């Protein structure tokens, strides 16, 4: 039997990409089936505790900011709950019939062995289990039982049986107090209908096992970067202590070896894994923070910390004392002293050296997995020669089969930012494919009565099981203590509320008592909170009038009966006080204006416009110049053989032809006010002004090719920039004779703390594509590329290798010893250090090409106008560069394209779709409901000191004349304003001082 409707999207894989796509689709109003082959969500990220740039976790930041309360969702590491997402763990896709808009997917679910709805996480099964195996969560360091929790900190913390290890001895079945375990379960299969499919299975990591030159298998102190991550983690095998696995001694010196399993065409790994350099820099920083005296050394070929913030992080790690050694590593061997000796070749010096370390970390890169191949086969799509899913390309992120979209590391290892962008982009396309253009379906809320004017009448429901630990509690006395409280109408007991029979019994017992608050004392509120709140529905109470408290977690399992009785009484009394003193705020509702203003009609702006328009929302597309296209009009060809000219033409035709898009050329934004869902944008075309209402705004103001005063640019017509070269080559302006000898200098004015401190990300690719073109015109051309770190990340690496094999000379230089350029009449002289000859050479090129990179348009006045920040390089500053990469600081304002961060055309298209998706999600609803916990202002008490404004991290407060206002949709209810305000003029209706004092008082009773 097929289930669900066609506005359903099936997402395979619940790592960051899959989860992000699922959340966006769910927020967009799609139903989502999220299938994950393992028992736990989170993918590789559940193993990583710290992330660039601030070395915090931050996973929660990708959660929906709207309506956070109904999702009762605060920490992703504990699990994911969303009413539109159905999660199927231990499930894989085994068949996919039909096509876009009408897929029939067959999913197979493996048995867990432990029924999650019955498991109370007590852990007795684990104690009873006699089988021990290596622990995959800690990368095989340490052991676990056959019955185990896949990710120790996940909630619900229900157990699962590893049937490969299980001997079916039955000890766990005996031990389980809730009869949750069955060893005889079989696989189940079901068919689901879906309008689109997103494949986000992730990729594998290269296994550095033999044959290898680093002795990973034989030397315990040679580990992978992921193993180090577990060692550094507080939840890891060493509880976060940095010690040598072989001896348990503190690590005094540690080395990373980069590109293990990457950039190795000989072994079929003809790619760069893109993220390992940043990963190693981060790990080195963490090591330095933990143990400043530990020597940290990274052996690398090119330090590919590319893009907007990469170079700063590179410098930050180096400044913290990380030593960076550009070299080729030969071998790792154990010395007689037990230390590890790294033999490496220093190209600049032309020498082989050897250095000893306590711990060696292999930066293992991406690897294709059998699962990726299997999935591609099932989905009927092809992988590239390295076994990875195709990149999105300039057309669409669709794979070969319409309606099937890949995202995440299956398309090549990605950092969080790029994964999130790809996921949002894939979600936008999948939503369109599944035909979701209507408003989000609002789930009907059950009829509840207004109790705000009633005197509190609190009922208490106690579950006596408490995970099997409640049997010997003095329930009679506990009930007596609680019933003595003047606000409590009745105390009712139940058994096994977690089971339907217990739940129904409780509803029966509570009926007819005219309660208007309910406090439930049970176990594990994280698991049962949402279910138990539904008890209120049977009594006509809103869910938030039901308070669930954890009786088991408070230590009732230990201590003497008197202590248990006291604890139970105080925990319940505290919850009663909280409900008694609660307030009933009105819910603020804003009607959304379903229109989006997009500033900038280049590649990103036009792509965003189309994506928004295709979801049924109106677009006003503003372009400052007289024609659309922006900087992308200068692009004539791409490295992978694409045709940007006709692509852009096609895009413009679709934009111009779309009835929901209104294009304004020669137009600028001159005024902006309002709040998300309801902005007023003032625009000006020539002398003519106009006001536009919109619900969101997307900034896509683009970039331009940078100038530089280095290397004689402008002093000779032989010295030009990559963009000029591209234009010249496309126009056929250069003959073979003009291109006999060409020198390219990378990072001209870039990655320079005194100039443009960022890496422009595209210049190395531009150098590659132009070098190929030069060789087309003159196959005998001598081409020299002078570079610092060659940023041919991802599958671009193979093109870099091809050019090296074709004889293009790639020569490194250090920023402290840059190439020198002299202009002598019509001649240009370039002087640089030749590493193989190890001497300075003078070359007179026919052309000297400077890779100056890109710089963002001047957005200062726009930023002031809208009230957002630019980073120190002039790019728009994201709200959160990793988890909300297209959201800006002011809610309802998004950005994409090269004004946000340097990127190539494909990447800009993905980012543009992501920004469009964010705007569509915001305006997908008729009204913007705010969560219940929106802070408010008691104007009569307010002294207008504005501390609440300066402390609000969400820009949710502002002053207008003599009043402080709250933007309900921006407020996240974090409570900082209420904490900062001395007299409660700023307050949170659901967390008042009276409640807090009452709760404390209940607890210290």
- Contacts with other proteins by CB under 8 A lie at 54, 234, 240, 486, 940-947, 950-951, 953, 980, 982-985, 992-994, 997, 1005
Contact 770, 783 (CB under 8 A): no
Q: Please, what is the minimum distance in Å from the beta carbon of residue 950 to other proteins?
A: 4
Q: Give least dist CB 922 to other proteins, A.
A: 26
Nearer to other proteins, 510 or 942 (CB): 942
| Spatial separation of the C-alpha atoms in residues 932 and 189, rounded to whole Å | 40
Among 470, 522, 474, 478, which residue's Cα sits nearest to residue 498?
522
Least Å distance, CB 994 to other proteins, is: 6
Q: What is the Cα–Cα distance from 607 to 913, expressed in whole angstroms?
A: 7
What whole-number distance in Å separates Cα of residue 732 and Cα of residue 726? Answer: 10
Please, what is the minimum distance in Å from the beta carbon of residue 632 to other proteins?
A: 37
Please state the closest distance from residue 239 (CB atom) to other proteins, in A.
Answer: 10
- As measured in angstroms, the least distance from the Cβ of 941 to other proteins is 5
Taking the complex as a whole, the smallest distance from the CB of residue 890 to other proteins amounts, in Å, to: 17
| 545: three-class secondary structure by DSSP | helix
- Nearer CB in complex with other proteins: 319/941: 941
| CB closer to other proteins, 288 vs 903 | 288
Specify the DSSP class assigned to residue 789: S
Q: Which two tokens stand for residue 415?
A: 């950092």
Q: For strands 595-599 and 703-705, give the pairing.
A: unpaired
As a three-state string, the secondary structure of 27-89 is HHCCEEEEEECCCCCCHHHHHCCCECCCCECCHHHHCCCCCCCCCCCCCHHHCCCCCCEEEEE
Distance CA 390, CA 616 (A): 29
Phi, psi for residue 107 in degrees, rounded to 5: -115, 140
- Say how far apart CA 812 and CA 787 lie, in whole Å: 5
CB of 933 to other proteins, least distance (A): 19
Shorter beta-carbon distance to other proteins: residue 766 or 972? 972
Instruction: Report the nearest approach of other proteins to the CB of residue 55 (Å).
Output: 10
**DSSP string for residues in 356-406:** EESEEEEEE-EE--HHHHHHHHHHT----TTS-PPP-TTT-SB-SSTTEEE
Residue at token pair 């050394």: 297
Let me know: does 423 contact 417? Beta carbons within 8 Å. Answer: no
Instruction: Name the residue nearer to other proteins (CB basis): 370 or 486.
Output: 486
Query: Residue 164 or residue 962: which is nearer to other proteins going by CB?
Result: 962
Rounded Cα–Cα distance for residues 191 and 193 (Å): 7
- Closest to other proteins by CB, 518 vs 948, is 948
Q: Give the shortest CB-291-to-other proteins separation in angstroms.
A: 14
User: Token pair of 883, please?
Assistant: 């988890």
Percent of the chain as helix, strand, coil, to the nearest 5: 30, 25, 45
Q: Which residues contact 30 (CB under 8 A, 6 or more apart)?
A: 7, 8, 9, 84, 430, 431, 434, 436
Identify how many contiguous H helices and E strands the chain contains and give both numbers.
23, 53
By beta-carbon proximity to other proteins, the closer residue of 806 and 945 is: 945
Min dist. Cβ of residue 944 to other proteins (A) = 6
Two structure tokens written together for 551: 């009786």
Q: Which is nearer to other proteins, 191 or 1000 (CB)?
A: 1000
Q: Which residue lies nearer to other proteins by CB, 604 or 985?
A: 985
Closest CA to 440 of 928, 4, 924: 924
Please give the Cα distance from 34 to 200 (Å, whole number). 10
In the 8-state DSSP scheme, what is residue 153?
T
Rounded CA Rg of the chain: 31
As a whole number of angstroms, the distance between CA 358 and CA 339 comes to 5
Q: In this structure, how many other beta carbons lie within 10 angstroms of the beta carbon of residue 687?
A: 5
CB of 278 vs other proteins, minimal distance in Å: 20
Nearest Cα neighbor of 22 from 204, 192, 200, 193 is 200
- By beta-carbon proximity to other proteins, the closer residue of 289 and 653 is 289
Helix axes 416-433, 16-28, angle to 10 degrees: 40
Which residue's CB is nearer to other proteins, number 339 or number 580?
580
Judged by beta carbon, residue 331 or residue 950, the one nearer other proteins is 950
Of the pair 573, 713, the CB lying nearest other proteins is at: 573
Cβ 951 to other proteins shortest distance, Å = 6
Q: Strand 847-850 relative to strand 893-895: parallel, antiparallel, unpaired?
A: unpaired
Is the Cβ–Cβ distance between 402 and 298 less than 8 Å?
A: no
- What's the CA gap between 586 and 589, in Å, rounded? 9
Q: Shortest Cβ distance from residue 477 to other proteins (Å)? A: 18
Report the C-alpha gap between 803 and 779 in whole angstroms: 12
DSSP assignment of 231-294: HHSTTSTTTT--B-TTT-PBPSEEEEEEEETSSBGGGTB-S--SSHHHHHHHHHHHHHHH-TTS
Question: CA-to-CA distance for 922 and 590, rounded, in angstroms?
Answer: 12
Start-to-end C-alpha separation, the chain: 56
- Shortest distance (Å) from residue 676 CB to other proteins: 22
- Tell me the closest approach of the beta carbon of residue 962 to other proteins, in angstroms: 8
Which conformational region is residue 788 in: left (phi greater than 0), alpha (psi within -120 to 50 degrees), or beta? alpha
CB of 491 to other proteins, least distance (A): 18
CB of 460 to other proteins, least distance (A): 18
Pick from 984, 974, 983, 985: which is nearest to 951 by CA?
974
Closest to other proteins by CB, 319 vs 402, is: 319
């Amino acid at each position: 039997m097929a289930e669900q409707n066609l506005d359903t999207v099936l997402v395979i894989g619940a790592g960051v990409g899959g989860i992000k796509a699922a959340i966006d689709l769910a927020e967009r109003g799609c139903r989502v089936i999220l299938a994950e082959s393992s028992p736990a969500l989170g993918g590789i990220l559940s193993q990583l505790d710290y992330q660039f740039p601030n070395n915090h976790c931050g996973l929660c930041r990708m959660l929906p900011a709207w309506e956070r309360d109904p999702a009762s969702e605060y920490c992703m590491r504990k699990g994911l709950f969303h009413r539109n997402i159905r999660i199927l763990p231990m499930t894989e896709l085994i068949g996919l019939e039909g096509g876009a808009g009408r897929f029939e997917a067959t999913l197979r679910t493996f048995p867990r062995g432990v029924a999650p709805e019955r498991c109370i996480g007590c852990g007795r099964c684990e104690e009873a289990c006699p089988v021990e195996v290596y622990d995959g969560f800690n990368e095989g360091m340490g052991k676990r039982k056959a019955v185990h929790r896949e990710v120790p900190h996940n909630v619900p913390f229900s157990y699962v049986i590893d049937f490969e290890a299980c001997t079916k001895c039955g000890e766990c079945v005996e031990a389980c107090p809730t009869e949750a375990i069955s060893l005889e379960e079989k696989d189940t299969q079901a068919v689901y209908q879906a309008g689109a499919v997103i494949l986000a299975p992730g990729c594998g990591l290269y296994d550095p096992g033999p044959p290898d030159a680093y002795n990973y298998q034989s030397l315990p102190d040679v580990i992978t970067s992921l193993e180090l991550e577990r060692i550094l983690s507080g939840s890891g095998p060493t509880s976060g202590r940095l010690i040598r696995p072989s001896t348990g001694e503190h690590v005094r010196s540690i080395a990373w070896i980069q590109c293990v399993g990457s950039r190795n065409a000989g072994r079929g790994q003809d790619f760069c894994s893109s993220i390992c350099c940043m990963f190693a820099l981060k790990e080195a920083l963490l090591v330095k923070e933990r143990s400043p005296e530990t020597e940290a050394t990274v052996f690398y070929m090119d330090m590919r910390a590319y893009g907007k913030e990469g170079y700063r992080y590179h410098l930050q790690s180096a400044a913290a004392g990380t030593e960076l050694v550009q070299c080729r590593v030969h071998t790792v061997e154990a010395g007689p002293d037990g230390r590890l000796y790294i033999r490496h070749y220093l190209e600049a010096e032309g020498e082989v050296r050897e250095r000893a370390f306590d711990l060696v970390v292999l930066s293992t890169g991406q690897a294709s997995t059998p699962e990726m191949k299997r999935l591609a086969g099932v989905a009927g799509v092809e992988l590239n020669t390295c076994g990875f899913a195709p990149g999105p390309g300039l057309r669409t992120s669709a794979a070969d089969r319409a309606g099937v979209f890949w995202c995440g590391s299956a398309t090549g290892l990605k950092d969080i930012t790029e994964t999130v962008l790809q996921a949002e982009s894939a979600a936008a396309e999948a939503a369109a494919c599944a035909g979701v253009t209507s408003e989000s379906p609002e789930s009907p809320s059950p009829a509840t009565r207004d109790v705000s004017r009633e005197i509190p009448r609190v009922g208490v429901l106690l579950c006596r099981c408490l995970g099997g630990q409640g049997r010997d509690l003095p329930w009679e006395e506990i009930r007596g203590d609680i019933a003595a409280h003047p606000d409590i109408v009745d105390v009712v007991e139940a058994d096994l509320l977690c089971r339907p029979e217990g739940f129904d019994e409780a509803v029966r017992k509570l009926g007819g008592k005219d309660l208007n608050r309910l406090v439930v004392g049970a176990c594990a509120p994280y698991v049962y909170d949402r279910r138990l709140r539904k008890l209120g529905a049977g009594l006509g109470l809103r869910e938030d009038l039901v308070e669930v408290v954890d009786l088991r977690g408070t230590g009732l399992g230990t201590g003497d009966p008197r202590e248990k009785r006291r604890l139970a009484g105080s925990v319940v009394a505290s919850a009663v006080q909280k409900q008694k003193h609660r307030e009933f705020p009105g819910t603020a509702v804003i009607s959304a204006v379903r229109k989006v203003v997009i500033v900038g009609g280049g590649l990103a702006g036009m792509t965003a416009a189309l994506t928004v328009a295709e979801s049924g929302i109106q677009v006003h597309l503003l372009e400052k110049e007289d024609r659309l296209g922006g900087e992308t009009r200068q692009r004539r060809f791409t490295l992978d053989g694409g045709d940007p000219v006709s692509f852009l033409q096609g895009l413009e035709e679709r934009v111009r032809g779309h009835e929901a898009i209104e294009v304004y050329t020669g137009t600028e934004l001159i005024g902006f006010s309002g709040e998300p869902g309801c902005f007023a944008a003032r625009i000006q075309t020539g002398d003519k002004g106009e006001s536009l209402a919109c619900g969101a705004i997307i900034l896509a103001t683009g970039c331009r090719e940078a100038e530089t005063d280095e290397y004689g640019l402008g002093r000779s017509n032989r010295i030009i920039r990559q963009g000029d070269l591209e234009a010249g080559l496309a126009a056929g302006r250069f003959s073979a004779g003009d291109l006999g000898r060409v020198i390219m200098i990378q990072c001209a004015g870039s990655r320079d703390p005194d100039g443009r401190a960022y890496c422009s990300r595209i210049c190395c690719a531009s150098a590659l594509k132009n070098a190929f073109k030069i060789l087309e015109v003159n196959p005998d051309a001598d081409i020299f590329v002078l570079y610092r770190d060659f940023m041919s990340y991802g599958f671009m690496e193979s093109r870099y290798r091809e050019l090296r094999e074709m004889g293009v000379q790639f020569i490194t230089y250090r920023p402290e010893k840059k190439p020198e350029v002299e202009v002598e009449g019509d001649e240009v002289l370039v002087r640089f250090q030749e590493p193989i000859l190890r001497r300075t050479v003078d070359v007179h090129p026919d052309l000297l090409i400077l890779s100056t990179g890109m710089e963002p348009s001047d957005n200062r006045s726009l930023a002031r106008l809208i009230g957002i920040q630019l980073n120190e390089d002039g790019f728009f500053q994201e709200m959160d560069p990793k988890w909300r990469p297209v959201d800006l600081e002011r809610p309802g304002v998004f950005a994409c394209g090269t004004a946000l961060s340097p990127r190539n055309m494909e990447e800009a298209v993905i980012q543009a779709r992501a920004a469009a998706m964010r705007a569509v999600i915001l305006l997908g609803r008729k009204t913007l409901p705010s969560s219940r916990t929106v802070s408010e202002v008691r104007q009569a008490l307010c002294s207008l000191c504005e501390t609440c404004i300066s402390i609000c991290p969400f820009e949710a407060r502002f002053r207008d004349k003599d009043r402080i206002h709250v933007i309900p949709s921006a407020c996240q209810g974090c409570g900082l304003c209420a904490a900062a305000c001395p007299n409660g003029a700023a307050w949170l209706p659901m967390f008042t001082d009276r409640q807090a004092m009452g709760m404390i008082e209940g607890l210290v009773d």
